[in-house]
A and B are shown apart, each in its own frame.
Chain A
Amino acid sequence: MTNDNSGDVRLSGMSKTYGSFTAVHPLDLTVPQGSFFALLGASGCGKTTTLRMIAGLEEPTSGNVSLGDQDVTNLPPYKRPVNTVFQSYALFPHLDIFENVAFGLRRRGIKSVKKQVGEMLDLVQLGEQARKKPHQLSGGQQQRVAVARALINHPKVLLLDEPLGALDLKLRRQMQLELKRIQTEVGITFIHVTHDQEEAMTMADTVAVMNAGRVEQLGSPADLYENPQTTFVANFLGTSNLIEAEVDTKSGDEIVLRAGGGKLSLPAARCSAPTTTGGKVLVGVRPEKISLTHAEDAGGIPEDRNRITGKIADSSFIGVSTQYVIDSPVCPEFEVYAQNIDRDARLVPGAEVVLHWSPAHTFGLDATQDIDAGVETVGEEASA
């Protein structure tokens, strides 16, 4: 990556309101040149509006958009060095693939487009289809045309609005890798809007999780997953077990919490909430970090691990792992994913068990938040 910053996208205080509804709260954000940046959130969280404001398709109510050192807030879309891959592609149905890809070049007065278009179509492996009309191509091919049509203009920034939403799961995986490959190859800034957390984590260097018009947290996928700062991020990215606990003692970089009858240890650095003795904190742990031991073997668990007792309510076998739902006094539906390495035949519904995990995998959140924020409901999953 170069030190050239002409592909930086800088949003300062950018907001959008429709009447009394605020789609995007004043937003400050910098996307560095050459990065693959994802805006992740449920539908209606303001991510697409943000993207459209960067593209110039929507006028911000307040604030500025800059590309590199240039303020582009008042430039119409056709004057911005930014291109978009639209949701369901918006390919021109009356033009063939070649002309679709050549569209932007021709508009900028470039006469000899043949070579460039040919190369671009080869890049997306559609050289053979140049004279077909969009409706004659499959969904995946149309998607690649949309990418080619935008990329051929060498934009400073490529915006992708749910580009894989219309594809089936297998093709989506394939295209995720394909897009990532293209991005590495051309090295321009990609801003990708998606509601699919797995897609965002697979492709992006940096993910911004948006909720209700605000960026909840921004960071690398691993950072977001391991150190969620809000319940929304904890629940929206993967699954989290959240327990309400009370601060018992604080000593140095360790906080000891009381939950139910037991005590849990939490590294102070992994707690984003203010902690005063006696105050409430939400303690979180990811299901795959937890080990499950039958109550009879509880003696063998090392002393320094956090532990909770419970009873298996349900278990489902899914090949690589088994997912357990544990009914425990501190949390009625504790989820545990256990790798199927050595399966303990006693771990069946009804069995008394001890859950235990390393304190280093524990995180603490502000207890004033909605504990269920970001939990996907059945309806949302169906639409996803």
Chain B
Amino acid sequence: MTTVTEAPPPLAPTPQKKPPRRRGRLTPYWLLLPGILWLLLFFALPMVYQASTSVQTGSLEEGYKVTWHFATYWDAISEYWPQFLRSVLYAGTATALCLLLGYPLAYLIAFRAGRWRNLILILVIAPFFTSFLIRTLAWKTILADGGPVVGALNSLHLLDVTSWLGLTAGDRVLATPLAVVCGLTYNFLPFMILPLYTSLERIDGRLHEAANDLYAKPFTTFRKVTFPLSMPGVVSGTLLTFIPASGDYVNADLLGSTDTRMVGNVIQGQFLRVLDYPTAAALSFILMAAILIIVTLYIRKSGTEDLV
């Protein structure tokens, strides 16, 4: 898996390291042309269309016209802010859980698995090939009312705690926020584990020995050496988890209820069922802007470019 944080380029290319000029100056442009054209036509241009759709008014029958009707944005936010909030909360919780659950496994694969390393890696990746929809449906069975998981949680009185927190309702897990967060966590866990593993695996084992030698106990070694050095993996893992989770509507749809609808569900519904294109486009645009702002701030804040 690739890491997202690699992608933002060094904006100023180092001047002294010029690669040799080959076959004229146009070669790079010819190489770029087809792929970039594709992205411009089918990624960038759609964004423009979406932006314009969001300020259109009209109806399906009479057609839409650009009327610079920015009120759509205001209406969308005031009507669907709970869904936005839920998206951020659910995706944020799922991301935190992924980090919490994924880190030990990534650490295990990188440092403790020995000859089992490849097998465990395969087991992390292989579920991708069973369609994620089928696997999400399997959670319906696992979390079924009166099933073993719910039974166990109930007998430990954990459901009382989660009910009190508003995560579950009664003695059900299915169709509650807990089920949605559980599904989101499950679905995006590999996207956390793989970048974490990649950056952990790069750490020179002698740095652990050096820390140990310099009076750091095992946990201090982790806190002062291993974890800081795995920050690139933490950053790209959290992004790779948070971004798709915030736009997801499959888990909320299959495992949740109308009370757990996320912004993805609204966009999907407006676009494919209600056919209210301007509202859907505005919602999508807000989501995009929010994600871009969060990502930019996060990358700045975590200062990954400072790490080696």
A83 to B209: give the CA distance in the assembly, Å.
11
Q: Report the minimum CB–CB distance from B227 to chain A (whole Å).
A: 10
Judge if A93 is at the interface, Cβ distance under 8 Å.
yes
Beta-carbon contact of B209 and A90 below 8 Å = yes
Count how many chain B residues have C-beta atoms less than 8 Å from C-beta atoms of the other chain.
20
Q: Report the minimum CB–CB distance from A341 to chain B (whole Å).
A: 50
Beta-carbon contact of A86 and B216 below 8 Å = no
Q: Report the minimum CB–CB distance from B262 to chain A (whole Å).
A: 36
Q: A93-B308, A94-B307 are in contact. Are A78 and B215 (CB under 8 A)?
A: yes
Q: Which chain B residues lie closer than 8 Å to A150 at the CB level?
A: 213-214
Residue in A closest to B203 when the chains form the complex, CB atoms: A93
Most A CB contacts (10 A, CB to CB) among B209, B214, B217, B225 go to B214
Beta-carbon contact of B308 and A55 below 8 Å = no
Judge if B257 is at the interface, Cβ distance under 8 Å.
no
Residue in B closest to A108 when the chains form the complex, CB atoms: B215
Judge if A107 is at the interface, Cβ distance under 8 Å.
yes
Judge if B220 is at the interface, Cβ distance under 8 Å.
yes
Beta-carbon contact of B209 and A57 below 8 Å = yes
Q: Which chain A residues lie closer than 8 Å to B299 at the CB level?
A: none
Beta-carbon contact of A135 and B215 below 8 Å = no
Q: Which chain A residues lie closer than 8 Å to B212 at the CB level?
A: 56-57, 76-78
Q: Which chain A residues lie closer than 8 Å to B216 at the CB level?
A: 78, 103, 107
Instruction: Write the B218-259 contact mask toward A (1 if CB under 8 angstroms, else 0).
Output: 001000110011010000000000000000000000000000
Q: Report the minimum CB–CB distance from A27 to chain B (whole Å).
A: 21
Q: Which chain B residues lie closer than 8 Å to A133 at the CB level?
A: 308
**A106-130 interface (Cβ within 8 A of B):** 107-108
Judge if A153 is at the interface, Cβ distance under 8 Å.
yes
Q: Which chain A residues lie closer than 8 Å to B215 at the CB level?
A: 78-79, 104, 107-108, 153
A370 to B211: give the CA distance in the assembly, Å.
43
A173 to B111: give the CA distance in the assembly, Å.
37
A93 to B210: give the CA distance in the assembly, Å.
12
Judge if A280 is at the interface, Cβ distance under 8 Å.
no
Known: A84-B209, A86-B210. 14 other contacts (CB 8 A): A76-B212, A83-B214, A84-B213, A88-B206, A90-B209, A91-B210, A92-B210, A93-B207, A93-B307, A107-B215, A107-B220, A108-B215, A133-B308, A150-B213
Q: Which 6 A-B pairs have the closest CB atoms?
A: A104-B214, A107-B215, A90-B206, A90-B210, A93-B308, A77-B212
Chain B residues in the interface with A (C-beta under 8 A): 204, 206-207, 209-217, 220, 224-225, 228-229, 231, 307-308
A-B contact pairs, 27 of them (CB 8 A): A55-B209, A55-B213, A57-B212, A78-B212, A78-B213, A78-B216, A82-B213, A83-B213, A84-B209, A84-B213, A86-B206, A88-B206, A90-B209, A93-B207, A93-B229, A93-B307, A94-B308, A103-B211, A104-B215, A107-B220, A107-B224, A108-B215, A133-B308, A150-B213, A150-B214, A153-B214, A153-B215
